[in-house]
Amino acid sequence: MRWMWIDCIIEHEPEARLVAIKNVSFSEEHLHDYIIDGKPIMPFSLIIEGVAQTGGILVGSIGRFKEKVILAKISKATLDCDVTVGDTIRYDATIERIDDAGASTVGVIDRRVAGGDAWERIGRVELLFSHIDNNMAGINFPKHNFVFSDNFKMILDTAGLGELACD
């Protein structure tokens, strides 16, 4: 993955659930382009991508990252408020269904406002993932798992999931 929209994984229940954190910082260049009411805002599309990365890691971990998992569809997405610099986002992804073709997940998005202690629910995203090695026969993909960047590997290693990574 070229860009990561999660900073760390804080919980992992194998084959069931993965929770990741994103700390929103003004040092992220993309925030300089999204200003609303004088405040830099995390774009909703990148928040949804953070949910997708969390769900994709969960789905990929089930097969020890041997299959190439890609986001196939955003079935439904709701976000109720903005996230700005200093806020923390928590992505909580759970498996709804998984088979040889792919998986469906639900991701819940919580926000903790800068300086606050409490989490508030701000969104929910339903996603479908495809195991492209099984679904796109005849198309030549690289043998190695192309989502593995150094940053991605570091996040997996820090969460204790690095031993699952087969690249």
The residue extents of the domains of the chain are: 8-152
Q: Whole-prediction pTM value? A: 0.87
Q: What is the CATH number of domain 8-152?
A: 3.10.129.10
Rounded CA separation 30/27 (Å): 9
Average the pLDDT over 92-101 and give the result: 95
Rounded CA separation 101/129 (Å): 9
pLDDT of residue 68: 82
How does pLDDT run across 117-129, given as a tens digit for each residue?
Answer: 999 999 999 999 9
Which of 77, 90, 132, 105 is closest to 15 using CA atoms?
105
The residue ranges of DSSP E strands in the chain, in sequence order, are 8-13, 17-23, 35-36, 39-40, 69-79, 88-98, 102-112, 120-131
